[in-house]
Structure 1
Amino acid sequence: MTKKIRNVFVSHHHKDDASVDGLTKMVSGKGYQFRNSSIRVKPENQSRLDKNKVSDRTIARLLKMKMRWASQVIVVIGKETHSRRWVDWEIKTAHQLGKPIIGVYENGLKDQVEIPENLKKYATSIVGWKADSVIGALDGGSEFQDSTGSPMPKIDGRNVVC
Structure 2
Amino acid sequence: MSETVKNVFVSHHHKDDASVDNLAKMLSGKNVQLRNSSIRAKPENQARLDKKMVSDKTIERLLRMKMRWAGQVIVIIGKETHARAWVNWEIKVAHQLGKPIIGVYEHGLKEKVELPENLKKYATAVVGWKPDSVIDALAGHSQFQNPDGTPSLKNSGGNIVC
**Structure 1-normalised TM-score?**
0.98
What are the superposed Cα offsets for residues 45-64 of structure 1, whole Å, 9 maximum, x if unpaired? 11111111000000000000
What are the superposed Cα offsets for residues 10-34 of structure 1, whole Å, 9 maximum, x if unpaired? 0000000000011001111101001
Q: Verify the 8 A CA contact 1:146 1:152 in the aligned structure 2.
A: yes
Confirm or deny that 1:161 pairs with 2:153. no
- Using the alignment, how far apart are the partners of 1:131 and 1:46 within structure 2? 30
Q: Partner residue of 2:50? A: 50
Q: Partner residue of 1:24? A: 24
Over the matched positions of the two proteins, sequence identity in percent amounts to 72
SS at match of 1:5: strand
Structure 1's consecutive aligned runs of 4 or more residues displaced over 6 angstroms after TM superposition are: none
Cα-Cα RMSD: 0.8
Q: Structure 1: which 5+ residue stretches go unaligned? A: none
Q: Structure 2: which 5+ residue stretches go unaligned? A: none
Residue 159 (structure 1) shift: 4.2
SS at match of 1:104: strand
- Using the alignment, how far apart are the partners of 2:136 and 2:89 within structure 1? 25
Partner letter of residue 107 of structure 1? Answer: H
**Structure 2-normalised TM-score?**
0.98
Q: Partner residue of 2:62? A: 62
- Using the alignment, how far apart are the partners of 1:47 and 1:112 within structure 2? 31
Q: Partner residue of 1:81? A: 81
- Using the alignment, how far apart are the partners of 2:158 and 2:126 within structure 1? 13
Confirm or deny that 1:97 pairs with 2:97. yes
What is the aligned residue count? Answer: 162
Partner letter of residue 133 of structure 1? Answer: S
Q: Partner residue of 1:71? A: 71
Residue 160 (structure 1) shift: 2.4
Q: Verify the 8 A CA contact 1:122 1:160 in the aligned structure 2.
A: no
Q: Partner residue of 2:4? A: 4
